[in-house]
Homo-oligomer: A and B are copies of this chain.
């Protein structure tokens, strides 16, 4: 049985001695560092760190004390999590179901350090499936005319469940800047191309028309600029002239599932820092 750990993600202006000051703070409390990974962006002069340790004292107190130390004494932006945390996750979906099933099964198999709390869909198509999995399902239709109201309802549910992460499992609507601002938590989207190639709609059709020899999938944090958010993970697979658009769709489904899952897992394991529309992923 592994003892619970504290995981801190820090970033801020680089300054001498940061590694030493962080590790000494932990050591001097009698605590034991398991992992510590650093990165410096030399151009931007920013220091990034992920550090994980077993606290010697009360875990909540030590976590709070570290947060205070890192922000007040080191001047870093810091988030502190615990290995036992299981933050709530809200899953958005439309009718396409491969990422839906895959994501749910991975949460159920214990692959994810979180809890799938609720499902929100603009269609009823997957309601029965959601119920089979015993996960609350909310059908909120969205049209151009009702989008603002629909997003208000979505936000209400996200907040009701205290979701710390929203994941868009091929949810076929753009979330507005308002939604993203008010959600109060990050949103991860899966796009079915190796961005920045084939941004926008129907990427498999675009890929087929252009005659590329690889197709890809990209998981990124959603921002108001569609398909322009910080990229978390990407992967590709080989195609050839025999492959029609439906073949690309079939092959792409496997990519989308694994890339989406990898991004969610990295996020819930507290491995990602965002800056300058890019990610630092301590994996």
Contact = CB atoms under 8 A, between A and B. Distances in A.
A6 interface: no
Interface string A6-42: 0000000000110111011011101011111111101
A279 B213 CA distance: 9
A242 B230 CA distance: 16
A211 interface: yes
Interface in A29-59: 30, 32-40, 42
A50 to B, nearest CB: 12
Given A16-B32, A38-B35, A241-B39, A211 B278 contact: yes
Oligomer: number of copies: 4
Interface residues of A, number: 60
A27 B17 contact: yes
Contacts of A28: 20
A146 B28 CA distance: 61
Given A37-B37, A39-B242, 4 more contacts: A20-B28, A35-B38, A214-B234, A214-B235
